[in-house]
Amino acid sequence: MKNPYSVECPYFYGDYFRGKNVEECRLLKTSGERWTRDLCKTCPVPEISRANACVHMRLRGKVARPFSAAFMRRMQIYAYCDKVKKPVAEPRVGCGECHALPFKFEIKP
């Protein structure tokens, strides 16, 4: 479903049927954090889901405040691979174990 900033997000849920206006981030709902619409503007989850569609990767979200801006709230994403049972350092790329990189081409003169 598209979030308030018109980006497709697998964790955003909006119910607008018959005048309802229910919106929530299901990634934050599982962790018990409070969600507001402005978090979707800088959230990296839609970009991660477009770049990596691994079924073994689990995302966990947390709301954090960067040191440079005391009043801004940002999404901080942690990724974990269920297949290899370890944290993923770069969620856009993946763990490197689930999906092998393509073989390397060699051109000999």
**What is the percentage of the chain residues whose pLDDT exceeds 70?**
93
Query: Residue 109: inside a domain, yes or no?
Result: no
Average pLDDT over residues 85-103: 84
Structural domain count of the chain? 1
Q: Which domain holds residue 43?
A: 12-88
Question: Does the residue 93 lie in any domain?
Answer: no
Q: pTM for the complete prediction?
A: 0.78
Residue 42 forms part of a structural domain:
yes
Position 99 pLDDT exceeds 80: no
On whether residue 62 sits in a domain, the answer given is yes
* In a domain? residue 96: no
Within a domain: 68? yes
**Residue at 102 is within a domain:** no
Element (H, E) at 19: none
